[in-house]
Amino acid sequence: MEKIQIIAIIVSLLFLIYISKLILKRKLREEYAIIWILSTCILILFSLWRNGLQVFADLLGVIEAPNLVFTGAIFAILIYLLHLSVTVSKLQRQNKTLAQKLAIKEVKEETKKEE
């Protein structure tokens, strides 16, 4: 096993432990953790199976195998960022609805007291 493989595996495992800690402290919800656990597993797989990258690159007709990593990773990151943007937008909308409802309710309660 090459040095870089061992380093990659150790880093991936540390990352996995860190994710687990975040879930245990309820700082990270399981639904978001799934993607992080999956990507760590993929990292570990390719650290163990060095030729794997070349196999997939040949399969897809990519001449330079590292380019497959960049294309794949950037694409996955973009999709995930989009998903997070959608989630934040939803939270912002819900937050607004809640604040408006609360404000209207307070006025209603005050007018009730005055009567």
CA distances from 85 to 27, 34, 51, 76 (A): 19, 18, 36, 14
Q: Half-sphere exposure of 104 toward its Cβ, with a 13 Å CA cutoff? A: 6
- What type of residue is 64? E
Contacts to other proteins from residues 26-65, by CB under 8 A: 30-31, 33-34, 37
Q: Which of 4, 7, 20, 58 binds other proteins (CB under 8 A)?
A: 20
CB of 37 to other proteins, least distance (A): 8
User: Is 71 near other proteins (CB under 8 A)?
Assistant: no
Please work out the total of residues on this chain that contact other proteins, with binding judged by CB under 8 A. 12
The 10 Å Cβ neighbour count of residue 68 is: 19
* Residues making contact with other proteins (CB under 8 A): 20, 23-24, 30-31, 33-34, 37, 94, 97-98, 101
